[in-house]
Homo-oligomer: A and B are copies of this chain.
Amino acid sequence: MDSANKVVGSTVSSSNKPNWKLKSVVIAALTLLTSSQSILIVWSKRAGKYEYSVTTANFSVEALKCALSLAALFRIWKTEGVNENNRLSTSFDEVSVYPIPAALYVIKNLLQYYIFAYVDAPAYQILKNLNIVTTGVLYRFILKRKLSQFQWAAFIFLCVGCTITQVNSTSDHVLQTSLPGWLMAVVMALLSGFAGVYTEAIIKKRPSRNINVQNFWLYIFGMLFNIIAIFIQDFDAVANNGFFHGYTFITVCMILNHALSGIAVSMVMKFADNIVKVYATSVAMLLTGIVSVFLFGFNLSLPFFLGTINVSVSVYLHYIGSSAKLQAMPAQIRTERV
């Protein structure tokens, strides 16, 4: 391809020019899929416990994503033929970085077992919002992409808003979290943010490369690392009760949902960025809360209401904050002319 496509970090490829329509569809899909995710997880539990092995479900999600990417590729090969951008074969140079995000997620998931020795589940729900901050900071310093001052402010309001929605009468003890608890929460937020930012860097490094090929390789390593996780955590359960023990219709729906939202995340990384992903998943959390009012008789709390306002206005501020940068441009042009 031409040199313009080789620019690292460029979102656009000539064959794959993202338009507003595609971008909007992908963002809407991510938002809706994520919002239904938490609801399916609640449904998939029996009496508050998982009856199936979570690691086998994670593996199934990776396998399904891999199969869907392949299916999409078969269709593309049929219409466009195999070319440099959509061929499955790869170089070591291209594929060598793909295991990194998968490995980071596995480390994060393992840490999750240990952090509960220091913080309880409701406190963890609140500390998890730190990854909004880490994503923003890593996005700025690793991808070297700039946010305007308004967008930074919007990002802080987003983080506060998401945290507020989860405030309840027992939340205050979060502030009494011990130092190891805080450290682990920060490390987990960094790992999660780093995995996201790294995935974006990988996907955008080769803008002309077909997203389904990039996904295929990402998911192959996802499968690999999840096999390791099955051996570490659930070997006995799987050996005794079988791989798919405890799977129900809801479990299958959940796996399907996770697979589709995983693909939506990749698409958002390709055609938008991590910041958009964070906003989409935050709005999804609000949608989950609102749907839960009807489905689970969840009470609309004042903090949820206030958090919703904060998140909504933050989305608006992020949007108008991007054009504020553009307003300054004519001044630069004018200076150059003088």
Asked if A163 meets B306 with Cβ closer than 8 Å, knowing A324-B150, A327-B328, A330-B334, the reply is yes
> What would 25 A/B residue contacts be, using CB atoms closer than 8 Å?
A150-B324, A153-B320, A157-B310, A160-B161, A160-B309, A160-B313, A163-B306, A164-B306, A167-B302, A167-B306, A169-B169, A171-B302, A171-B303, A172-B299, A172-B301, A175-B302, A303-B303, A317-B317, A324-B327, A327-B327, A327-B328, A330-B334, A331-B331, A331-B334, A333-B334
The reply on A126 being an interface residue by CB < 8 A is yes
The reply on A174 being an interface residue by CB < 8 A is yes
Q: Determine chain A's interface SS by DSSP, over half rule.
A: helix
Give which listed residue, B149, B164, B320, B330, contacts A149 with CB less than 8 A. B320
Give which listed residue, B175, B303, B320, contacts A300 with CB less than 8 A. B175
Using a CB-CB cutoff of 8 Å, which residues 261-313 of chain A contact chain B? 299-303, 305-306, 309-310, 313
- Contact residues in B for A306 (Cβ distance below 8 Å): 160, 163-164, 167
- Contact residues in B for A302 (Cβ distance below 8 Å): 126, 163, 167, 171-172, 174-175
Chain B nearest CB from A186 CB (Å) reads 17
* Contact indicator per residue, chain A 317-338, by CB within 8 Å of chain B (1) or not (0): 1001100100110110110000
The reply on A220 being an interface residue by CB < 8 A is no
Say whether A331 contacts B320, CB under 8 Å: no
